[in-house]
Every structure is written in structure tokens, then in C-alpha cells.
């Protein structure tokens, strides 16, 4: 099986799992994956993650030019900005409109520099320090500019009134991080206003050192 065939199948398999578990609905959400030749596979615009056709995924070359498949997601500039600023640290990007994460994005008083307090070890390890981006119209190129302002220092963002976007070295990593994002958002909503205990600065520092994560 060729790399591209395997990658197409992997995107569709993960997307179907994400959809089946209610992490996205309708035709919302998008996934991209970098290929070894520098090109990219991207989910098409207006497509449901639950019913993707591997043959219809959008193929782009290393310069981001269209090669084949259906028209790409309108959120492509968002994905491109993450690859551009993160370099080899990012091999895949997942963006969803998952309910709990969107819920956090509309809460008052959320710290835009660190959306989630350090509630669990895995939120620190898999997400690092999550930045909140202001509201942009879906597909607005200005969203990509907002990502670039962070100069590759973040692997996870929360788009206000919109949803989360995460990057990982592999597709598995990106999907796992996205699941951790949604679970952390759910915990935050469950404990909002209740002054939950968080990890100490020393505990966070230990995780950062031991697992070599940015926080």
C-alpha cells in the first residue's frame, strides 16, 4: 500500500471515529495531513467527517497548490499557518466544533494566553498552554495571521465562538490531543465557578521537564 493510500484511509478512519463519538456533527470539522514529499491531504469543504471518501480528499503540493480531489476546506489557511510556523513539529492538524470546547470559548474571564488551568497531567502533556484566538468569520484569512503571531510556540488554539484546533507530529498525536482538548473543556465546564484544585507550579514544571513539552 502506498503512503498516500494509507494516509487517505487513516484520515477517513479517524474522521469516522470522531464523528461517531459526537465530537463533531453535520459537515463541520476538518483534518489535514502532511505527506513525506511535502504535500498535504485535506478534507474537502462541506463534507461530513462521518462519510468521507478517501478518493475525494483534496491533494495539495508542497507549495499548497491544488493537485486533485474535491475543493479543500475553507479553513485551509488556518491549517497552512500552523504548518508554516510549527515546521517539523506538526505533521497533522485537526479542527472541530466540539460542544464543550465551544462552550469554554464563550465563557467570561477565560485567560486568552492560557485557556485551561492545569487540571490534569495529560492536559499539560498533550496540549501545552492553549491560546484563545478572537472571533473571526469561518475561513477568514485573518485567522491564519493570528496563528502566525504566536510564532509556532503553541500546538493548540481555541477559536472564540468557533472551536478548537490542534496539531501533532502524527495524525494519531493530533487526534489524541483533540480528544484531550475536549475532555479538558468538559472538566473545566463541570468545575467552573467551583474553585477546583489545580496542579502546582512545581508539578507542572516537572511535567514540562520530564516530557519535554511547551507550557
Looking at the annotation, which residues are catalytic?
Answer: 75, 122
The residues near 42 (Cβ < 8 Å, ≥ 6 apart) are 30, 31, 32, 33, 57, 58, 60, 72, 73, 76, 79
Closest CA to 165 of 51, 29, 6: 29
Alpha-helical runs (H) found in the chain = 3-20, 76-86, 99-105, 121-127, 141-148, 171-191, 201-211
Report whether 55 contacts 12 (CB < 8 A): no
Asked whether 41 and 7 are in contact (CB, 8 A), the reply is yes
Q: What is the 3-state secondary structure (H, E, C) of 120-144?
A: CHHHHHHHCCCEEECCCCCCCHHHH
**Cell 496540549 belongs to which residue?**
127
DSSP state at residue 213: -
Amino acid at each position: 500500500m502506498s503512503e498516500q493510500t494509507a494516509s487517505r484511509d487513516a484520515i477517513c478512519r479517524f474522521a469516522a471515529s470522531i464523528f461517531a463519538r459526537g465530537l463533531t456533527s453535520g459537515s463541520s470539522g476538518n483534518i489535514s495531513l502532511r505527506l513525506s514529499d511535502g504535500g498535504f491531504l485535506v478534507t474537502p469543504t462541506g463534507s461530513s467527517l462521518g462519510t468521507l471518501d478517501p478518493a475525494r480528499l483534496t491533494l495539495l503540493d508542497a507549495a499548497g497548490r491544488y493537485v486533485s480531489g474535491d475543493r479543500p476546506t475553507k479553513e485551509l489557511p488556518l491549517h497552512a499557518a500552523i504548518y508554516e510556523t510549527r515546521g517539523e513539529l506538526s505533521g497533522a492538524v485537526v479542527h472541530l466544533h466540539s460542544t464543550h470546547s465551544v462552550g469554554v470559548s464563550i465563557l467570561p474571564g477565560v485567560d486568552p494566553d492560557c485557556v485551561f488551568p492545569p487540571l490534569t497531567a495529560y492536559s499539560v502533556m498533550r496540549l501545552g498552554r492553549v491560546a484563545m484566538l478572537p472571533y473571526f468569520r469561518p475561513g477568514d484569512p485573518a485567522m491564519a495571521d493570528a496563528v502566525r503571531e504566536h510564532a509556532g510556540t503553541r500546538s493548540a488554539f481555541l477559536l472564540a465562538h468557533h472551536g478548537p484546533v490542534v496539531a501533532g507530529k502524527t495524525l494519531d498525536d493530533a487526534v489524541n490531543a483533540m480528544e484531550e482538548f475536549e475532555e479538558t473543556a468538559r472538566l473545566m465546564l463541570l468545575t467552573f465557578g467551583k474553585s477546583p484544585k489545580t496542579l502546582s507550579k512545581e508539578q507542572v514544571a516537572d511535567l514540562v521537564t520530564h516530557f519535554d513539552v511547551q507550557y
